[in-house]
Amino acid sequence: MKMQWAWVLPVLTILTLGGSAWGQGYPQGYAQPAGGYAAPGYQQGGPPPGYAPMYDPSVMMYAPPGSMPGGPPGYGQQVGYMQAEGPTPAPLPGSEPGVLAPMPGPSGYEGGPHEEGNYGSANAEDFGVDCPYCGGAGCDRCGGHHGLLGDVLGCVGPYPDGGCGAVRWYDFSLDYMYLKRDNIGRTTNFTSQGIAGPIVLSTDDLAFNESSSFRFTGMFQVGPGSSAEFVYYGLFFYESTVSVTDPNGNLFSAFSNFGTLPFNGFAETDQSDLQTLRYTSKFDNFEANFRQRWVAPSARYQGSWLIGARYFKLDEQLSLFTNSTTNNASAFYDTDIFNSMTGMQVGGDIWFCLLPGLRLGGEAKAGVYGNQAGQNTSISTSSGALFQENGDSADVAFVGDATLMATYRINYQWTAKLGYHFLYVDGVALATENFDPTPPALFFPLPGVNRTVNMNDNGNVFYHGFMAGLEFMW
């Protein structure tokens, strides 16, 4: 056994050293003699016989992807030792005679410096197509360097031009808004079942559905980072109708204090078999603002402040129809309310850049306004009698709104946004709160009180809902 190891170990050592020598080659970059002029034993593509190859640090060595950079390569073997004749390098185009091109590396690898972990090129421009993100200038958005998920996210990701430092700007914006009005107003009772009986018809029975419309915003630059903008949204219309019936004609109205004054009520409004209440509301909003934008030093945050004027118009209508088959009489009550608010407002917005092209932020505006409110009321009966009155008031109102939004940049010109909008108005006249149950003189029997105009402008409304839109920049 000892004799066997005595000759096995030297043989393995010789084979190992021979394999290492065979795997070492000459560095590239030396001028090579033309084919056919090599001296005996001279390896084409290598240095002359007896020339000791030197390590040239400027020459890049090929390595498989993922290999760690190492030290200088080992020196080549002696000339003519176990070397097969290799191909003659081609002359370098445009160079002096005798200067030859470097030998090509293994298939699929490129010479020259590379970024760590990135060998070869897989950019779109290598296939004759400009990358849509950099226009062929060179980036890894289309390069497929991040796996399937990275490539998919790269294709559906936001347009990153300008990075987080790109100032939020657009020339006009169009938004779809879907808003709900929460409150009807303070409770007002209209109808009871039986004399002084339980209330069966009141404003608590009314409920508005959501309403949809559009908001348009246009702006133009007036200075460095500043712009003038115009905003309009409106045409929101809310409607609610509710009816109550009693085949026995046992419905009594608020005009007779529910059948108590006078007893059994009036012929037109009491002992009814049908009473119907209808409430409608609509509003329009106009703004003209000056906006100054700012960007934080880190460019991650940016925003603006604004000052401007707003005009807000709120119009409402309340209708009550009563019919008495027992008395063969009916009445129709209608009140129209209008609010016109004009004043100054201040506000601003702030945005946080999640990544280039994708932002989260919000905007808020508020102001104190003068409100010119008014009402027109008419009451008609089946006998043909008509009663009309009107009134107005001037008071202070408040209007404030806020929006939480996310913006997604589609390309250089278009940006999509999605958000939630809030709008609150206080100090307004509401139709439900301006219902006057005092009976007019045209009712039968004649009431014993005189009716005077009353105006209540202390109501408030609150709207909220989703919005989605597009911004466009020239």
Residues 370 and 427 reside in one and the same domain: yes
pLDDT of residue 112: 46
pLDDT of residue 149: 55
Candidates 418, 420, 312, 327; CA nearest to 366 is 312
Q: Is the pLDDT of residue 435 over 50?
A: yes
**If you search the block for the tokens 């009473």, which residue do you land on?**
275
From the number of C-beta atoms within 10 Å of its C-beta (0-12, 13-18, 19+), residue 85 rates as exposed
The predicted model gives 375-380 an average pLDDT of: 96
Residues 304 and 444 reside in one and the same domain: yes
pLDDT of residue 198: 98
Structural domain boundaries, residue 141: 120-156
Q: What pTM was computed for the model?
A: 0.68
Residues with Cβ within 8 Å of 448's Cβ and at least 6 positions away in sequence, in order, are none
Residues 287 and 141 reside in one and the same domain: no
Tokens of 282: 């609509």
Residues 148 and 210 reside in one and the same domain: no
pLDDT digits (tens, 9 = 90+) for 255-312: 999 999 999 999 999 999 999 999 999 999 999 999 999 999 988 999 999 999 999 9
- Please tell me the distance from the alpha carbon of residue 35 to that of residue 221, in angstroms, as a whole number: 71
Confidence class for position 386, pLDDT limits 50, 70, 90: very high
Residues 263 and 170 reside in one and the same domain: yes
pLDDT digits (tens, 9 = 90+) for 180-197: 999 899 999 999 999 999
In a domain, 374, yes or no: yes
Residues 130 and 243 reside in one and the same domain: no
Confidence class for position 116, pLDDT limits 50, 70, 90: very low
pLDDT of residue 26: 47
The predicted model gives 322-345 an average pLDDT of: 97
Residues 172 and 132 reside in one and the same domain: no
Residues with Cβ within 8 Å of 403's Cβ and at least 6 positions away in sequence, in order, are 362, 363, 364, 419, 420, 421, 422, 467
Residues 246 and 169 reside in one and the same domain: yes
Confidence class for position 424, pLDDT limits 50, 70, 90: very high
Confidence class for position 171, pLDDT limits 50, 70, 90: very high
Residue at a domain's end among 156, 176, 208:
156
Q: Is the pLDDT of residue 446 over 80?
A: yes
The predicted model gives 348-370 an average pLDDT of: 97
Confidence class for position 209, pLDDT limits 50, 70, 90: very high
From the number of C-beta atoms within 10 Å of its C-beta (0-12, 13-18, 19+), residue 450 rates as exposed
In a domain, 197, yes or no: yes
Residues 295 and 408 reside in one and the same domain: yes
3-state secondary structure 42-78: CCCCCCCCCCCCCCCCCCCCCCCCCCCCCCCCCCCCC
Confidence class for position 115, pLDDT limits 50, 70, 90: very low
- Amino acid identity of residue 367, one-letter, is G
In a domain, 238, yes or no: yes
Residues 225 and 130 reside in one and the same domain: no
Residue at a domain's end among 99, 133, 156:
156
pLDDT of residue 471: 98
- Please tell me the distance from the alpha carbon of residue 293 to that of residue 357, in angstroms, as a whole number: 18
> What's the distance, CA 163 to chain centroid?
17
In a domain, 263, yes or no: yes
pLDDT digits (tens, 9 = 90+) for 35-86: 444 444 444 545 555 444 444 444 444 444 444 444 444 444 444 444 444 5
Residue 68 per-residue DSSP state: P
In a domain, 40, yes or no: no
The predicted model gives 230-257 an average pLDDT of: 97
The predicted model gives 2-29 an average pLDDT of: 48
In a domain, 114, yes or no: no
In a domain, 13, yes or no: no
Strand ranges across the sheet with 199-202: 199-202, 189-193, 251-253
Residues 133 and 180 reside in one and the same domain: no
Residue at a domain's end among 131, 156, 181:
156
Q: Reduced to 3 states, what is the DSSP secondary structure of residue 329?
A: strand
257: left (phi over 0), alpha (psi -120 to 50) or beta: left
List 348's β-bridge partners, or say none: 305, 364
* Cβ atoms of residues 463 and 179 within 8 Å: yes
- Please tell me the distance from the alpha carbon of residue 132 to that of residue 141, in angstroms, as a whole number: 9
Assign residue 364 the CATH number of its domain.
Answer: 2.40.128
Report how far apart, in Å, the C-alpha atoms of 300 and of each of 17, 104, 163, 226 are. 60, 47, 9, 20
* Cβ atoms of residues 106 and 62 within 8 Å: yes
Number of separate domains in the chain: 2
In a domain, 446, yes or no: yes
Confidence class for position 139, pLDDT limits 50, 70, 90: low
Residues 151 and 209 reside in one and the same domain: no
Comparing 161-165, 326-330, 410-414, which segment has the lowest mean pLDDT? 161-165
pLDDT of residue 391: 94
Q: Is the pLDDT of residue 126 over 90?
A: no
pLDDT digits (tens, 9 = 90+) for 151-165: 555 677 899 988 998
- Please tell me the distance from the alpha carbon of residue 111 to that of residue 400, in angstroms, as a whole number: 65
Mean pLDDT taken over the chain: 80
pLDDT of residue 157: 86
